Amino acid sequence: MIGLFSALYMQRSGLKVVICEKGRIAGEQSSRNWGWIRQHGRDFAELPIMMEATRLWEQVDQETNGRIGFKREGLCYIASSEKKLAKRAKWLEIAKECQLDTRLLSKAELDKLIDKSARGKGSHDWVGQLIRQ
């Protein structure tokens, strides 16, 4: 998305721009080049970039009357052990510092979100965390 947004803002500045993509726009490298703007679990140094990218996506989606289809959905990372959960919970310190709406779910809260019958054979009793970005 770096290239697409660069092209957009260069065009807005009066430059002529050509976008070359192997296939569909946002379906090739542009979707992998910082295209997924999740904030959850990111390194602290990356978060300002992701937060600004989210703001830009929302702005461009508004400017195009929703034609981009940008939506804030949220993200849930699930841990299958207390050790994995502790590692994920440690990231909450970063989320709090950056004022992200992230919290750790209790097992009961998670069980309400995930249908046990859909987990499949050999699945775990999950504990996880949810982000609403």
**What's the pTM?**
0.67
Which residues, listed in sequence order, are joined to residue 85 by a DSSP beta bridge? none
> What's the domain count of the chain?
2
Tens of pLDDT, residue by residue over 47-84, are 888 888 888 889 988 998 988 888 888 777 778 788 88
Question: Could you tell me if 57 and 11 lie in one domain?
Answer: yes
Please give the Cα distance from 42 to 53 (Å, whole number): 13
Q: Tell which of 28, 43, 63 closes a domain.
A: 63
Question: Could you tell me if 83 and 52 lie in one domain?
Answer: no
Is 70 part of a structural domain of the chain? no
Please give the Cα distance from 129 to 124 (Å, whole number): 15
8 Å CB contact between 128 and 113? no
Beta carbons within 10 angstroms of residue 12's beta carbon: 9
Q: Which domain holds residue 82?
A: 75-131
Which segments of the chain have a pLDDT < 70?
1, 25-36, 115-133
Phi, psi of 51, deg, nearest 5: -65, -40
Please give the Cα distance from 54 to 59 (Å, whole number): 9
